[in-house]
Amino acid sequence: MGENAIEIRGLEKTYAAGKGSPAKPALRGVDLEIPTGSVFGLLGPNGAGKSTLINILAGLVVKTAGQVTIWGFDQDVNPRQSRASIGVMPQELNLDPFFSPRAALEVQAGLYGVPKSQRRSDEILALVGLEDKAEAYARTLSGGMRRRLLLAKALVHNPHVLVLDEPTAGVDIELRQMLWTNVRRLNEQGMTVILTTHYLEEAEEMCDEIAIINAGQVVARDSTANLLDRLDSKTMIIHPETEVTTLPKAPGIEVERRADGSLALSYQSHQTPAEAVLEAVRNAGIHIRDVKTEQADLQDVFLELTRSR
């Protein structure tokens, strides 16, 4: 595969008007490239258009305009191949209550035309930790087990791209960690992973690249590290050797004395180099016992970018 597992150009979606609700665009000209082999996060407030985007990729929602290419296959030119390249773990727990996990995987494999000789149901059940439940009815599975079965179903046709729609919303910590371990392992084996999440720390920890969507448009798209760098304000915390009598003073630096005797110096890292902050501290006759810096997290970037809707 080339550089990008997915390429989206000029994507638009307007759902048909309902009774009393006028047609309103859900996606308004989205261009997005998702690099092969990445873990890519789609973030945005409720109603931003994330599910619409994912459902278009999955072939579940028909786009109004634009071009979607998955694993080199244009959705309109090669719909079958583009669909076979992607697996989607949906948000809703829509499982047939009468199928056992193994049967559910076999049915799914059948839908994707995976020949019997190439099916890996037991291997996939083991991967998600459901081997003991292979023959249990879906209705007897716990919520967490159902989620794992949904992940397993997304994997039966061995897709190149795995899409997870809010995979850890409302799940307990143990299951969340298990899901992330699985996702990391699949990614290490070469699978490109796209996920939506409301948990910003999760995106920060899991994703190499992030797109922030707001009101149907991509408002930011960058590596996680670069996005975090955008919020430029940093705070240097200085623990002095002895009590401070004179506070440091320099242009572009705000100083606050904290209750534990430390000093918090806030500055914009692009305007004021860390060295200038340290110099101001030394000039005030302060001997530094310890120093650390704090910086904005994804939550701050996110709020800044989605504040004005």
Chain residues binding ligand ADP by CB under 6 A are: 15, 26, 44, 46-52
- Is the separation of the CB atoms in 104 and 95 below 8 Å? yes
Query: Minimal distance in Å, beta carbon 146 to ligand ADP?
Result: 21
- Is the separation of the CB atoms in 52 and 13 below 8 Å? yes
Query: Minimal distance in Å, beta carbon 92 to ligand ADP?
Result: 12
Query: Minimal distance in Å, beta carbon 41 to ligand ADP?
Result: 13
Nearer to ligand ADP, 44 or 87 (CB): 44
Nearer to ligand ADP, 56 or 138 (CB): 56
* Strand-pair partners of 264: 237, 256
Query: Minimal distance in Å, beta carbon 102 to ligand ADP?
Result: 32
Query: Minimal distance in Å, beta carbon 297 to ligand ADP?
Result: 21
Q: Which amino acid is at 209?
A: E
Query: Minimal distance in Å, beta carbon 300 to ligand ADP?
Result: 20
Question: Residue 135: left (phi > 0), alpha (psi -120 to 50), or beta?
Answer: alpha
The token duo for 290 is: 């310890």
Nearer to ligand ADP, 22 or 115 (CB): 22
Nearer to ligand ADP, 212 or 253 (CB): 212
Nearer to ligand ADP, 60 or 111 (CB): 60
Nearer to ligand ADP, 26 or 175 (CB): 26
Question: What letters, b where the CB count within 10 A reaches 16 and e where it falls short, cover 99-122?
Answer: bbbbbbbbebbeeeebeeeebebe
Query: Minimal distance in Å, beta carbon 46 to ligand ADP?
Result: 5
Whose tokens are 């193994």? That residue is: 102
Q: How far apart are CA 161 and CA 108, in angstroms?
A: 17
Nearer to ligand ADP, 11 or 281 (CB): 11
The dihedral of CA 113, 84, 208, 198: what is its sign? negative
For residue 68, what is the enclosing H or E element?
A: strand 65-70
Q: How far apart are CA 36 and CA 150, in angstroms?
A: 23
List, as one string, the DSSP characters of 120-188.
-HHHHHHHTT-GGGTTS-GGGS-HHHHHHHHHHHHHTT--SEEEEESTTTT--HHHHHHHHHHHHHHHH
